[in-house]
Structure 1
Amino acid sequence: MRFSLRQLTIFEAVARHLSYTRAAEELHLTQPAVFAQVKQLEDVVGLSLFERIGKQLFLTDAGREVLATSRETVAAIERLEMRLADMQGLKRGKLRLAIVTTAKYLIPRLLGEFCTRHPGIEASLTVTNREKLLARLTENLDDLVVLGAPPEHLDVVATPIADNPLVVVARNDHPLAGKKRIPPERLVAEAFVMREPGSGTRLAAERFFAERGLALKVRMELGSNEAIKQAIVGGLGISVLSLHTLSLEGEDGLLQPLDIKGFPLQRKWYVAYPRGKHLSAVAKAFLDHLMAANG
């Protein structure tokens, strides 16, 4: 029975997402190419690895067996690559990084600096929401993850690397713009545009107001900070966002932080990985780079 590491890697991605489309996006391949590789693997195995019921894809019994072996094989190859890369220092190696969406205003620049210093490093960056990031952390899919608050239900090593202040953001012609020391109670009447439930930013904001016996009037939930910013510009409400999301606005931008008592909420950015995980020389060097850049 002959099958390739490439086929196992592609199959693992499809099995993890239970979607040819999402696997293709992750692997930067076309959907037909991903489907063809899985079909070739099924031909070699002699059994179907997936079955489709309605629009949902499911693993067959054979698929679950192949998935377990695929993960063992890919993990063994990655451990070998890590050991070889460690022997060569930072001349070569891979870095798999995953970050929450808000961190895209900070981390890509630092990753670019790191890769410029070490051109032999092959880096991949996944940007996703907190829920999916924690799932990746649970499955140990990345070398390091960057998020706004360490998960309480997972046993991880979490290192603070930078400040992440949260501010109340409004359009620059909002009635509260320019006013000083606005009490939080004043915001109860305002419509909020917020991230999805489970977002670290939203959890911190709701905790702040709940501690004061206040509840936010959430008018709309959106899945990205840029969409929220556009909604604010469109007059749909105000929001609580990381100050980093305003980094490209400039002094004459359409958005500005409001001066609310108790804000900014002082939070941190953390780099995390599962406790007991062996970090490669590349991952250790990048962690050091993050800490030095914001030290």
Structure 2
Amino acid sequence: MVLSVNKISAQTQSKRSDWVQASFQDKNPLHLVNIGDADLGVRYKKGEGTPIVFVHGSWDDHHSWIHVAEILSTKINNPIVLYDRRGHSASTPDKEQGTISQDVSDLVLLTEKLGFRKAHFIGHSYGANIVVKLATDHPEIAESIVLYEPPMFGVLKDKPEYKTEMQQVKKAMTTSKSLLEKGAIQEGTIQFIEKVAFGENSWKEVFDDRARSTMLASYRTWLDQSNDPERLNIHPERLNYFQGSITLIVGTNSIPVYPAVANELKNKMEKIQVKSISGAGHGGLISHVNETAEAILLSLKSDK
């Protein structure tokens, strides 16, 4: 049997990636941190200086950031924190309707519980929305923020140039929600992943078995999030009063709605730094780990 160079390279990178992830997990075991009414699953790498706190998006858990965190841990000595948001994986499940304000409160309490006065907050997808609200509501705790494609679709509302993108996303989200509510868990999950978030064929091409299993198990939390009356109550223009640096990461191969959001955020925020990752989509933190880590490193350096 003959394997192409690309396949051999991909297999080698996959093995190396698995080893790196296992190494980071072994050195920083998952444990629970109580924040009052909930326990959050946390991985905490100790270090010196201002901590870096990663916030994952919907469906997945802290593992979505683990490869990027490992790379950063080899280049800087800052403390690094990854955690499962309430309702995800190891953390306390939702017992009633959750809100984005609750997610922000959990993040503030976790940061304080770990003994930190300030942190660099890095969010992906809905986790980036949480980081934006954190920075506007609690600017005193955020040293800087990095946002990987926040789905702040509200900034596109009533803008005719984005009508097509908004219609496509709204239709796909409605279909996904309907399927999930009828019990079609896998079909509804894949509908969202491929039509709203990561693009065609991403279910199999971007994610591994662990991620797919986690997503299927997280559908109730996403349904809860979709019913949150506060989820659209985010005002990115308030970040103009934020004193720390703001970095927006965008993939050049993302579905059209995310570059559209990025363009509007650039128009609303005076000092935002935009970093594009060539060839990456909404899942660039998984598919383009080195490039994502480098963009974050540059952001941290610019904040000094």
TM-score by length of 2: 0.33
TM-score by length of 1: 0.33
Q: As a proportion of its length, which structure holds more helix?
A: 2
| Structure index of larger Rg | 1
Q: As a proportion of its length, which structure holds more strand?
A: 1
